[in-house]
Structure 1
């Protein structure tokens, strides 16, 4: 039995298309706004020297690649799974803080509160405590409606092993195939997501690569001007002083 109502495929495809647009738009905007001075203030110059990096392009490739790797997972998680889950459930965005979908099943007199997350490793102790507080606050809506209440954390990908040890939780955690199946009632929906994406990603690749290459060339130029000597070699003392000096 599905948590959500019957979904419409065109709404799911629409949600994925918007997610792709938002993901690439946000990532490109961040890449376009990179500043080598701000970047090098946060980096470890001793590490680059220890790795015997001797040219500006090598350092820039390292920092740019690391930036994209650290940014894209967060951006994608924020842009993709929540709107997709809303469309797949046939429901609406929840008004309660920290809850993404609220679904009322009149047949069983149950209100489902679903918090959608990207992967199973997103929580630390503090964020999990906040999520529990949000579920507690949302449960008051069910009490007012005199309905059974079920809280769920749904992860868009991965697997979540439930051991059953420790204090019983006020919520369930389900991930990947299990989450999408429970949301839609279709065991293979997690595979359908890839099919629904179609060739949408390819529509943005050229713009992304153009932005990346421009940023790479710009950052190499900025690094060379700021941190290289007249002969083109890296001025390590100047870089370390900029990063760690007074």
Structure 2
């Protein structure tokens, strides 16, 4: 373990982890019940036999926030990776489209697109990423032709490490990625402890806001989507979620 590097990471986390928690709370405060109902699959919730307003609200809110948190924390982890590469190898934010990080290591110039995890892409986004790597390499070679280059799809977690047959780039995940940008083979494990900085305190603040949202949306759900007997009116929810909007209908006429 490189203690100086870990200490610098711990300080970075202390100074910046609040951004992750603040963004979680901001996401909570930005959503409304109609948005939640319109974005999640009502048929699945009906199939799960959800019969209470609280159960319905808790289910859609939990699914929404779980997805949002992964994206928010992924962006935060990308920032940490940039910090590590800058400290160890003088890495810098790339000006090339679709490339996050560049640095020189052992005579090779690296172009890195930093991703949260290995399952970020579909065929269209991967095709675009490959083209961005080719463009960055082509521009670089106009001024530094004698310097070898490598293009890396760097994922902060996972172990889906592989090369690509067209030689455009390689995929480094988890241990392999953190070792590349730090030179430290155990960094992928060492960073887990600093990430818990004030986690209990910050999560308590989050769950206070989360509880407020659940209570507020449950009241709203009962008012707008339950009948006088207290039954969930599934037809209303399905129409909100899946019916053709009137503006779209009028355009077709």
Q: Same fold (TM over 0.5)?
A: yes
Q: Which residue of 1 aligns with 2:158?
A: 158
- Could you tell which deviates more after superposition, 193-202 or 180-189? 193-202
Partner residue in 2 for 1:85: 81
Compared CA separation, residues 119 and 232, structure 1 to 2 (3 A): same
The equivalences for 1:59-138 within 5 A come to 59-80=56-77, 82-89=78-85, 90=87, 91-105=91-105, 108=107, 110-138=108-136
Query: Which TM-score applies when normalising by structure 1?
Result: 0.85
Post-superposition CA distance 1:18-45 (Å, at most 9, x none):
5522222112111122211222233444
Return the TM-score normalized by structure 2: 0.83
- Counterpart CA distance in 2 for 1:196 and 1:224 is 43
Q: In structure 1, what is the equivalent of residue 142 of structure 2? A: 143
- 1:201 aligns with one of 196, 199, 202: 199
Q: CA deviation at 1:195?
A: 2.4
Render the CA deviation track for 1:54-113: whole Å, top value 9, x for unaligned: 210010111011111211111111122x211121112222222211111134x62x3211
Q: Distance in 2 between matches of 1:186 and 1:45?
A: 47
How far the C-alpha of 1:171 sits from its partner, in A, is 1.2
Matched residues, number? 235
Q: 1:235 to 1:96 in 2, by over 3 A?
A: same
The residue number in structure 2 matching 1:3 is none
1:74 is paired with a residue of what secondary structure? helix
Return 5+ residue gaps in structure 1 as ranges. 1-6
**Root-mean-square deviation (CA), in Å?**
2.3
Specify the alignment match of 1:4 in structure 2: none
For structure 2, the residue ranges without an aligned partner over 5 or more in a row are 247-253
